[in-house]
A and B are shown apart, each in its own frame.
Chain A
Amino acid sequence: MLEKRHRRHRNNQVDLDVSEISLKKKRFRLIVMFGSFMSAMAFLISISISSGGVIPLSDAIGALLSSIGKALENDRNLDIIELYIYNGRLPRTMAAIAVGAGLAIAGCMYQAVIRNPLVDPYITGVSSGAGCFATAATALGFSIPFLLDNSLYLIPVVAIAGGLIAFAITMTVAECSGGASINYILSGIIVGFAFASIQTIFMTLGKNHLTDVMWWLYGSFAYITWENAWIVFVPVIGVSLITMIWAREFNLYSMGEDQAAQLGLNVKMFKRLTMIVASILTSLCVAFVGIIGFVGLVVPHACRMALGSDHRLIMPASIVIGAMLMLFADLIARTVMSPAELPVGAITAMIGTPVFAYMLMKRGRDYEG
């Protein structure tokens, strides 16, 4: 008994002197390991369940591996399951991972730099600009000369253009009004409103073509194929991972811009840079799959509530949680009402809200945003 108490006492002593950095490193490794494992599981579940039924997990893995092997050897004789998984499931699943991760990390960056918990990736008007252009292109029967009539790329290209134009206007207005965080939020909101109202005009004008753009405005992975999956996956995952090198700089922002500047950060340049990177990331996510809300706003908050304020933990966790939430949302969107597809943005909110509400009730008292 006494020995037990003694040991406990000694454990407490050890706990008191444990290095905070090594504790964080341990948590970081745990996030990466747990995250990779859970993402892999979600990935496998996602490719094995379809509207038609469930393929046993082992068959799905076998088909996945053999189809990839055949694809690498340029062998085109895929059997039906392989074809289904390789062409139907895999690109879509990859896009869902990338978009979930990208939106979550973009939201995380915006919230840190703007120092406002209500900010989401669409705060700079990217989604409204993209939506407006996509609607205009569809309503007016727009075509881009060198893209032939390939409608697969029409909406993404104009959406990226629209998103970046809206962001450029927001950035100009914000910088001309002093470049403070609140200037970014306000100019983002007015630019967003402007594009949203132009969008409604186009929607009225092009009533007959609206179904062509509806899937995009509500968000969907239905139009993802191998051709565009790469364009989403590689840059979005690449940029998301690269932004993590700024984790310590994001930490500096938690003490405010003055202190960040005093500690040696070029605050104006850094803010501009992260705003541009996060907006490009958001535009890429939005272009092919449309406007999916909730993930970019709530995933970073959930990670902060669970892990504290250090961005070296929040950023990798946001990537993992964002990707997983999006995978499950897409899974539900395409299976529940099949053959009809539900808008994936609605599903992210439907899964996410109860989980987040629970966390909020548990941790909300001490949570600062």
Chain B
Amino acid sequence: MKDETAVLRIRGLVKEFDGFRALNGIDLEFGKGLLIGLIGPNGCGKSTMIKCISRIYPQTEGIIEVNGNNISEMKVMDVAKMVANVPAEVGQTFGISVMDMVMLGRYPFVDRIWWENPEDERISREALRTFGIDHLRRKQVSLCSSGERQRALIAKAYVQEPILMLVDEPTSHLDIKYKLQVMEYLQKMARSDMTVVVAEHDISLMARYCDVCVIMKKGEIVAVGDPKVIITEQLIRDVYEVDARVGLDADGEIYMLPKRCLEDCP
């Protein structure tokens, strides 16, 4: 954050859907090479924020700057060269293969109208190897397991060679091994100077891996900072209305154990 230009700078971001304020004045600033966790209850605006930064949604008010450039004033194609997005789910993919999907990540870079360059293919194959899915490259995405599909989606974003990667709920369908694996990949990318923003529900996992956590509630930011400092039992109670135990394990890693709802079920 001491960098002269922050990789991501958000000022007064507001997003409204038919009068409903999904984001209500967000201010954030992050430097290079950080893994940032977005945490908050369902509907708090995590995904909306990610979609605004990826320019899938236009914002209602406010400024989003990536590397000092206001993305609303840039061409969509140029934003795609700096910002990559890993969606929470892809839904129906019409039989597309893993390789074809990863190669789509090169779309903003291909200047020809028909075939990709050999360079694009080399980068895509390298990404497939990096994420350990090269052997699956001819398999249909829809026939892959959730873990394989998630890695393919991350590889697709990786070949965009972004400086900012936004990942929406990457581990929600995964078992614990793949959860850790995905987080390891994201951490590795952050260490290689990419700024990675992850929205996730698993607070212990986020607290363990992220350099900075952003806690959101009802479209506003409640707390920002080192997860070990900001994640407390009081915070969980305020944000989620849930009683929880927060502590450090024998290795000094933070964990959060939800105990019970504060409200009675109707």
Interface centre among A20, A112, A256, by most chain B C-beta atoms within 10 angstroms, is: A20
Tell which of A50-58, A193-201, A243-251, A324-332 binds the partner: A243-251
One of A62-70, A96-104, A307-315, A338-346 contacting the partner? A307-315
B94: Cβ under 8 A from any A Cβ: yes
Which of B113-121, B169-177, B183-191, B222-230 binds A?
A: B113-121
Q: CB of A353 within 8 A of chain B? A: no
Q: How far is the CB of B225 from chain A (nearest CB, A)?
A: 29
A228-260 interface bits toward B, Cβ cutoff 8 Å, 1 = contact, 0 = none = 000000000000000001011001101110110
State how many residues of chain A have any CB contact under 8 Å with chain B. 32
Q: Which of B99, B108, B121 contacts A263 (CB 8 A)?
A: B108
Contacts of A34 in B (CB 8 A): none
Is A37 positioned at the interface, with any CB of B under 8 Å from its CB? no
Bitwise, B91-118 to A at CB < 8 A (1) or not (0) is 1111111011101110110100111101
Known: A21-B115, A24-B115, A366-B143. A251 touches B91 (CB 8 A): no
Q: Which of A255, A256, A262, A304 is the one whose CB lies under 8 Å from B80? A: A262
Contact B93 A266 (CB under 8 A): no
Write the residues of chain B forming the contact surface with A, with a CB cutoff of 8 angstroms.
Answer: 51, 54-56, 75-81, 83-85, 87, 90-97, 99-101, 103-105, 107-108, 110, 113-116, 118, 121, 137, 140, 142-143, 160
Contacts of A247 in B (CB 8 A): 114
On whether the beta carbons of A248 and B114 are closer than 8 Å, the reply is: yes
Query: Is A261 touching B97 in the complex (CB atoms < 8 A)?
Result: no
Contact (Cβ within 8 A) A256 B96: no
Q: Are B108 and A264 in contact (CB under 8 A)?
A: yes
Interface residue? A169 (CB, 8 A): no
List 18 A-B residue pairs with CB atoms under 8 Å apart, sorted by A's residue number.
Answer: A19-B118, A20-B99, A20-B103, A21-B118, A112-B94, A115-B94, A248-B110, A251-B100, A256-B87, A259-B85, A259-B90, A263-B80, A263-B105, A263-B160, A264-B75, A265-B76, A308-B97, A369-B94
B79: nearest chain-A partner, CB-CB: A264
Contacts of A24 in B (CB 8 A): 115
The residue from A25, A255, A262, A304 contacting B55, defined by CB atoms under 8 A apart: A262
Report the Cα distance A217→B65, complex, angstroms: 58
Q: How far is the CA of A248 from the CA of B94 in the complex (A)?
A: 14
Q: Which residues of A contact B96 (CB under 8 A)?
A: 251, 254-255, 309
- In the assembly, what is the distance between CA of A209 and CA of B171, in Å? 66
For the complex formed, measure the closest distance between the CB of A162 and the CB atoms of chain B, giving whole angstroms: 32
